[in-house]
Amino acid sequence: MRQQRVTSFDVAALAGVSQSTVSRALTGDTVVSDGTRTRVLEAARQLNYHVDENAARLRTGKTGTLAVVVICRPGEQRKDVNPFYYSLLGSICAAASARGFETLVSFQDTEESLWGLYEEQRKADGLIIIGSTANRPAWDYFRSLRDSGAQLVCWGSPFDDFDWVRSDNHEGARIATGHLIERGYRRIAYLGTEQSPQRQFKERYQGYGERMREAGLEPRLVEIDERLSRDEQGRKAIRDLAGAGWPVDAAFAACDEIALGALEELRQLGRSVPDEFGLIGFDGNRAGAYASPPLSSIEPDFQSAGTMLVDKLLGLINDDPVEPLRVPVRLLERESTRRN
């Protein structure tokens, strides 16, 4: 279909200049005269010429590309990846594009599939790692890469010594807890765990506890079982509360997936939400909007999240380090907390 490749030499011939001048004109070198540049651009247009990026990259050593790795739970089908990470992925690609970078995306789960030698193969200038904190071997692998010099930033790492970007979990938890208090709930539980590899859970628990004590209320932790699926974690937490004779009338769940499980169990137990029980989650999952009743949540600003991750990585690459960053969050008030 396509013929012999058009090169900068062809453009040079048509424009009546040397090949080096074509290159200068096209890369935007200000040294070339306006007349020359115009002629070159016109010739390139006529020949439908486009720079072969492989040659350019080989020469410059820059790829103009960022690798994005989404860490999945082992064996998880790609359609079942937490939609939170898909939203984050979309925002990262958009932010990279806005900065003039391409994004090379891969999903990785099992140890055999772990691979991150993008810089070594000169496929990318740096890596953004996002995804399930639970896949420890994956995070260990990328930590070892980082230790051997990879330019790498992440979201969701269980490690603190990474270059990370995170939701403002503390503030989000305060907002969620404060919202339940405002709505008149007093006996408010936290569905989560104190000792989680998921740092964000710890931060949310702290924000919750702090806000409770400020209001003169007693924090109450309903410990989840991390070996269960998120959904089951939420269901079991609610069953535990029912078994204890409903010692609380509201809950802040560590994440939406736990909250959605909890909501389902509340419905099955006939506990009316929000009248008898208030519930709020964290993450702003789209599915929460379709739940019954629609689930209130704390949503991070995804657009900022993408931009922060990309800018942090570019800072690393350009040796111009950026502090760890917190993504602002906001209350998504829906029916599950809307008690009069």
Contact positions vs its own copies (CB under 8 A): 1-2, 48, 50-55, 57-58, 63, 65, 68, 70, 77-81, 83, 86-87, 89-91, 93-94, 97, 102-107, 113, 117, 119-123, 149, 260, 263-264, 267, 286-293, 302-303, 306
Q: How far is the CB of 23 from DNA (least distance, A)?
A: 3
Between 9 and 115, whose beta carbon lies closer to DNA? 9
For the record, the structure tokens of 106 come out as: 């891969």
Q: What gap in Å lies between CA 213 and CA 210, rounded to an integer?
A: 5
Between 28 and 216, whose beta carbon lies closer to DNA? 28
Between 46 and 229, whose beta carbon lies closer to DNA? 46
Residue 315 touches which member of DNA, its own copies, none, C-beta under 5-8 Å by kind: none
Q: Classify 205 as helix, strand or coil.
A: helix
Residue 93 touches which member of DNA, its own copies, none, C-beta under 5-8 Å by kind: its own copies
Longest dimension (CA), the chain: 88
Between 79 and 227, whose beta carbon lies closer to its own copies? 79
Between 13 and 217, whose beta carbon lies closer to DNA? 13
The CA-CA-CA angle for residues 201, 293, 192, to 5°, reads: 15
Q: How far is the CB of 48 from DNA (least distance, A)?
A: 12
Residue 303 touches which member of DNA, its own copies, none, C-beta under 5-8 Å by kind: its own copies
Q: What gap in Å lies between CA 173 and CA 169, rounded to an integer?
A: 6
Chain residues binding DNA by CB under 7 A are 5, 7-9, 17-21, 23-24, 26-27, 31-33, 35-36, 49, 51-52, 55-56, 58-61
Q: What gap in Å lies between CA 80 and CA 178, rounded to an integer?
A: 32
Q: How far is the CB of 249 from its own copies (least distance, A)?
A: 21
CB count within 10 Å of CB 38 equals 13
Q: How far is the CB of 54 from DNA (least distance, A)?
A: 7
Residue 111 touches which member of its own copies, DNA, none, C-beta under 5-8 Å by kind: none
Between 122 and 239, whose beta carbon lies closer to its own copies? 122
Q: Which residues partner with 33 through β-bridges?
A: none
Each as own residue / partner, the long-range contacts of residues 155-162 (CB below 8 Å, 24 or more positions apart, any chain) are 155/88, 155/128, 155/129, 155/130, 155/131, 155/305, 155/309, 156/71, 156/85, 156/129, 156/130, 156/131, 156/132, 157/129, 157/133, 158/133, 158/197, 158/198, 158/199, 160/199
Between 29 and 80, whose beta carbon lies closer to its own copies? 80
Taking each helix axis from N to C end, the angle separating 34-47 and 19-27, rounded to the nearest 10 degrees, works out to 100
Query: Where do runs of H (alpha helix) occur along the chain?
Result: 8-15, 19-27, 34-47, 53-60, 83-98, 136-147, 169-182, 199-214, 230-243, 256-268, 302-317
Residue 101 touches which member of DNA, its own copies, none, C-beta under 5-8 Å by kind: none
Q: Which residues partner with 316 through β-bridges?
A: none
Q: How far is the CB of 24 from DNA (least distance, A)?
A: 5
Residue 102 touches which member of its own copies, DNA, none, C-beta under 5-8 Å by kind: its own copies
Residue type, 163: D
Between 18 and 106, whose beta carbon lies closer to DNA? 18
Q: How far is the CB of 339 from its own copies (least distance, A)?
A: 18
Q: How far is the CB of 185 from its own copies (least distance, A)?
A: 22
Residue 246 touches which member of its own copies, DNA, none, C-beta under 5-8 Å by kind: none
Q: What share of the chain is helix, strand, coil (3-state, %, to 5)?
A: 45, 15, 40
DSSP state of 154: E
Q: What gap in Å lies between CA 206 and CA 252, rounded to an integer?
A: 12
Q: How far is the CB of 116 from its own copies (least distance, A)?
A: 12
